């Protein structure tokens, strides 16, 4: 009994709110229901508005025909068929309301049209998930807030939220695609009132590892120092300091395969231009910007890249990933454990006993204090970094002045400066421990322990 009374009280309350608003305003059924959006759940705003209209008129029919005539005439402003037909039945008069809704100006009558325009806007791309947004004229939003203030409405939903949901539902119905708030393949922004559709295609992210098999290739495209990439006599008008890069050996085929506009290359750190990247390779993520295709045979793509870049670069483990991995790569690069092979030249003949001391010094996670090296000080902040060397093993003594060392260390350590000492900016160093001016003449990266 109590529940029935509560339900009746709620019906009376919503009827009173609705009639009060409509006495001096024209609202469509959608926007009427939207003013009561926070009262109850499990129904649409249109259904909510329709329920208020029907239940109010029906209650009035039971109470007093004149009251029903009055309420059906007021509710006819919403263009709801039940209100119009009831008024006609009771009075014999036919109402043909033509005024536009004060809040939406009839935009909810165009939902199917808008959904079809959105479909045209994405007809040339592959996608499985979508998200709708909207841009309404400021004066529309002001009108809505004025209505809330005028009638003390605290149960409404914004027109943007209502519109985005309705057009999204219709779009899903037409296309069979799924709504995704967090990571949609495509985001569609509807500009009101001209119904202009703006689309944003989400990037595709692929992860893999690359091996660099030749020296003097940078990881990413390196603009000419003289012209900053414009093209000049110094760079033979290529705009580049080096003819190619790891990125340029990989990215074009990826962009072509997914029909993207461009790409970005995200590496887990980078080796020096003159260093090889061997072993299982360095992890990287390639981001394809605004792709028209979202699916490809990655094994075939791997084969094409390795065939094109044969002898210079090769990739393995090409897989789909997401943007989160890019962030993880950047954050974890300095924590990765990296193994190098360095060919080292010494100014004086090598003292084998000191080589043993060198190995012993670096057997127990030796902390290195390293000031930003002179060779990169023009593009790196002048800081003192604290890095760890986990081990140093003498792999071979080539002659009286050259030897090969295997160095396992923390990511972000400048290995060439660990060897030379960089005029005292890196401590301890090979030069310091061997009491010999040392220089790295060849450097190879053997392993990058990065979990991707």
Q: Phi then psi for 227, rounded to 5 degrees?
A: -115, 0
Residue 155 within any structural domain of the chain: yes
Residue 98 within any structural domain of the chain: no
pLDDT reported for residue 11? 64
- C-beta atoms surrounding 99 within 10 Å: 10
Last residue of a domain, one of 66, 91, 116: 91
Distances (CA, A) of 336 to 199, 250, 332, 411: 38, 24, 6, 5
For residues 228 and 320, membership in a common domain is answered with yes
Last residue of a domain, one of 91, 118, 137: 91
Q: What would the mean pLDDT of 251-270 be, rounded to a whole number?
A: 96
User: Helix 111-121 vs helix 159-175: angle between axes, to the nearest 10 degrees?
Assistant: 60
Summarised one tens digit per residue, pLDDT across range 125-176 is 999 999 999 999 999 999 999 999 999 999 999 999 999 999 999 999 999 9
Q: How confident is the model at residue 376 (pLDDT cuts 50, 70, 90)?
A: confident
Number of domains within the chain: 4
Q: How confident is the model at residue 333 (pLDDT cuts 50, 70, 90)?
A: confident
Q: How confident is the model at residue 223 (pLDDT cuts 50, 70, 90)?
A: confident
For residues 178 and 217, membership in a common domain is answered with no
**What would you report as the CA-atom Rg of the chain, rounded to the nearest whole angstrom?**
35
Q: Record the tokens describing residue 355, joined without a space.
A: 């080589």
- Asked whether the predicted pLDDT for residue 38 surpasses 90, the reply is no
Strand duo 313-321 + 204-212: pairing: antiparallel
Q: How confident is the model at residue 7 (pLDDT cuts 50, 70, 90)?
A: very low
For residues 194 and 249, membership in a common domain is answered with no
For residues 326 and 346, membership in a common domain is answered with no
- Asked whether the predicted pLDDT for residue 364 surpasses 90, the reply is no
For residues 29 and 87, membership in a common domain is answered with yes
Q: Record the tokens describing residue 101, joined without a space.
A: 């809704």
Q: What would the mean pLDDT of 8-32 be, rounded to a whole number?
A: 85
**What are the residues whose beta carbons fall under 8 Å from the beta carbon of 260, sequence distance 6 or more?**
204, 254, 288, 289, 290, 291, 292
CATH code for the domain in which residue 314 is found: 3.30.70.2510
The runs of H, that is alpha helices, within 259-391 are 298-308, 323-332, 352-361
Q: What would the mean pLDDT of 99-112 be, rounded to a whole number?
A: 95
pLDDT reported for residue 39? 82
- 16 vs 425: CA distance, rounded Å: 80
Query: Is 447 designated active site?
Result: no
pLDDT reported for residue 5? 46
CATH code for the domain in which residue 189 is found: 3.30.2130.30
Q: Are 84 and 29 in contact (CB under 8 A)?
A: no
- Asked whether the predicted pLDDT for residue 323 surpasses 50, the reply is yes
- 223 vs 247: CA distance, rounded Å: 13
pLDDT reported for residue 6? 38
Predicted structure pTM score: 0.85
Q: What would the mean pLDDT of 355-364 be, rounded to a whole number?
A: 91
Which of 272, 422, 444, 447 is the catalytic position? 272
3-state secondary structure of 156: coil
For residues 196 and 210, membership in a common domain is answered with no
Q: Are 77 and 99 in contact (CB under 8 A)?
A: yes
pLDDT reported for residue 229? 81
Summarised one tens digit per residue, pLDDT across range 377-432 is 877 788 899 999 999 999 999 999 999 999 999 988 999 999 999 999 999 999 99
Q: Record the tokens describing residue 130, joined without a space.
A: 């979508």
Residue 147 within any structural domain of the chain: yes
For residues 326 and 417, membership in a common domain is answered with no
For residues 349 and 294, membership in a common domain is answered with no
**What are the residues whose beta carbons fall under 8 Å from the beta carbon of 310, sequence distance 6 or more?**
none
**395: domain range?**
336-449
Residue 35 within any structural domain of the chain: yes
């Amino acid at each position: 009994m109590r529940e029935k009374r509560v339900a009746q009280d709620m019906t009376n309350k919503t009827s009173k709110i609705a009639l009060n608003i409509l006495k001096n305003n024209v609202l469509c059924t959608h926007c009427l229901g939207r003013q009561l959006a926070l009262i109850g759940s499990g129904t649409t705003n249109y259904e909510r508005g329709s329920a208020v209209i029907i239940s109010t008129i029906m209650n009035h029919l039971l109470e007093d025909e004149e009251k029903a005539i009055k309420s059906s005439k007021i509710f006819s402003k919403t263009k709801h068929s039940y209100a119009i037909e009831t008024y006609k039945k009771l009075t014999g008069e036919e109402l043909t309301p033509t005024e536009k809704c004060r809040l939406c100006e009839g935009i909810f009558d165009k939902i199917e049209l808008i959904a079809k325009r959105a479909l045209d806007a994405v007809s040339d791309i592959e996608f499985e998930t979508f998200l709708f947004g909207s841009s309404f004229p400021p004066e529309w939003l002001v009108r809505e807030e004025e209505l809330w203030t005028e009638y003390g409405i605290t149960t409404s939903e914004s027109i943007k939220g209502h519109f985005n949901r309705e057009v999204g539902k219709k779009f899903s119905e037409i296309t069979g695609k799924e709504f995704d708030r967090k990571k949609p393949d495509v985001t569609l922004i509807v500009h009101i009132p001209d119904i202009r559709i703006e689309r944003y295609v989400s990037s595709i992210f692929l992860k893999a590892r690359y091996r660099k098999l030749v020296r003097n290739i940078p990881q990413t495209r390196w603009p000419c120092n003289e012209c900053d990439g414009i093209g000049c006599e110094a760079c033979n008008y290529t705009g580049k300091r080096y003819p190619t890069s790891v990125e340029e050996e990989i990215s074009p085929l990826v962009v072509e395969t997914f029909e993207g506009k461009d790409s970005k290359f995200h590496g887990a750190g980078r080796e020096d231009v003159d260093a090889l990247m061997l072993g299982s390779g360095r992890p990287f993520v390639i981001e394809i910007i605004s792709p028209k295709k979202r699916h490809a045979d990655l094994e075939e793509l791997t084969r094409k890249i390795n065939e094109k870049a044969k002898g210079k670069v090769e990739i393995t483990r090409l897989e789909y990933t997401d943007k989160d991995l890019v962030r993880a790569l950047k954050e974890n690069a300095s924590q990765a454990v990296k193994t190098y092979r360095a060919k080292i030249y010494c100014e004086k003949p090598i003292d084998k006993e000191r080589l043993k001391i060198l190995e012993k010094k670096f057997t127990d996670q030796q902390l290195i204090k390293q000031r930003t090296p002179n060779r990169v000080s023009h593009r790196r902040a002048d800081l003192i970094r604290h890095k760890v060397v986990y081990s140093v093993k003498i792999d071979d003594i080539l002659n009286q002045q050259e030897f090969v060392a295997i160095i396992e260390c923390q990511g972000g350590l400048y290995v060439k400066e660990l060897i030379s000492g960089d005029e005292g900016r890196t401590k301890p160093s090979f030069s310091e421990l061997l009491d010999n001016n040392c220089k790295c003449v060849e450097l190879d990266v053997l392993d990058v322990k990065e979990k991707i």
